[in-house]
Amino acid sequence: MSNEDTARWWALGLIKSLKKNTEQTLGDHIMPSAPAPRAPKIAPPAPPLSNVVAAAPRNFTVAPWTGEGDGEKIIIYGPSGMGKTTLAAMAPDPVFIGCDDGGRRIRNPLTGEPVLHVPGIANFRDVQDALRSHVFDDHTSVVIDTGTVLQDWAIPHILTTVKHEKGYTVHKFEDYGYGKGFTHLYEAMYSIPVALERLVHMGKNIILLCQLRGSITGNAGGDDYVKTGPALYPGGKKGTNNIQAMYCEWVDHIFRIDWEGATVTDGKIAPVSTRMVRVHPDATFEAKSRSNVFAEYPAVTFSKPNDDSLWRILFGGR
């Protein structure tokens, strides 16, 4: 090997040695390089328009809005003992859902026969199931006696079926939190008209009996006052979860059984024994009818237990 080749060999060796030593010295101080960024996920391409099946547009028509074939939706309310069940017993071909046992001794005043009912109704779920069944298919009217008790039944139903928003079971209505229990109550009671709508469109009359209760009505132009109506929850201070309003808005008719010719003198009411059915409201109580058949009647007589004037006027002999 020439002197020139020897020098070149020693120079290459020295360079390799210096490079190795430098890497060993600085290795712990060299920052690792950042990973390469991931490519963003790209959604698969949409199918070509030629593969999309277009929904066929519905065809609509215009027709008279008469509710032909639908049943009537009715609330009858009044104090206990005023004859709500007796009056309902004379409706066209009624079948009772008895939430209490008040109807077990009632006879149809026109026939003397016991009223028909659905045995085995013991709780809120039973009522829901009965309304979704076909037990009423061969009858004309469905009577819930009473909606006030049905609302009471809804509370234990809620406690067993609706958990707290944090996932645990509650044992008292108040444990849901301020106002939240009444939201659940509203939702439970809302399920009843939803189930009843199917029967209405089958031509069944729905008759909801309720006790009477007064509640404070707000008056923007003056003092608040008491207004009587069906004994259903009238809502909170802000008007939320108003079950009474929901049912009153849903029905076609609200009838109040009252005393005829009752007068008050010096805070005392004169004794009266003749009853009537109020079909028009005033500022102090709920009543209404979406039909004009009562236009000429300030009220309808219910002077005797077998007085079925209300049904003869409403159904016109049907």
Give yes or no for a contact between 93 and 140, defined as CB atoms under 8 angstroms apart.
Answer: yes
Give yes or no for a contact between 82 and 263, defined as CB atoms under 8 angstroms apart.
Answer: no
CATH number for the domain formed by residue range(s) 73-254: 3.40.50
Give yes or no for a contact between 248 and 235, defined as CB atoms under 8 angstroms apart.
Answer: no
The residue whose two tokens read 């659940």 is: 184
Using the CB atoms, write b or e for 245-281: b if 16+ within 10 Å.
bbbbebbbbbbbbbbeeeeeeeeeeeeeeebbbbbee
pLDDT for the residue 318? 45
Q: What angle do CA 99, 100, 106 make, to 5 degrees?
A: 115
Tens digits of pLDDT across the chain (318 residues):
555 555 565 555 555 655 555 555 545 555 555 666 676 677 777 667 666 677 889 999 999 988 889 999 999 999 999 999 999 999 999 999 999 888 889 999 999 999 999 999 999 999 999 999 999 999 999 999 999 999 999 999 999 999 999 999 999 999 899 889 999 999 999 999 999 999 999 999 999 999 999 988 777 788 888 899 999 999 987 889 999 999 999 999 999 999 887 666 666 656 666 899 999 999 899 999 998 999 999 999 998 999 999 999 999 844
Please state the domain extents for the chain: 73-254
How many angstroms separate the Cα of 111 from the Cα of each of 3, 141, 303? 139, 17, 18
Residue 250: strand, helix, or coil: helix
Q: Look at the alpha carbons of 100, 163, 178, 194 in this order and tell me if their dihedral is positive or negative.
A: negative
What's the whole-model pTM score? Answer: 0.78
Q: Which amino acid would we find at residue 224?
A: D
Burial of 217 (0-12, 13-18, 19+ CB in 10 A): middle
pLDDT for the residue 237? 79
User: DSSP readout, 86-133?
Assistant: HHHHTSSSEEEEESSSTTTT-B-TTT-PBPEE-TT--SHHHHHHHHHS
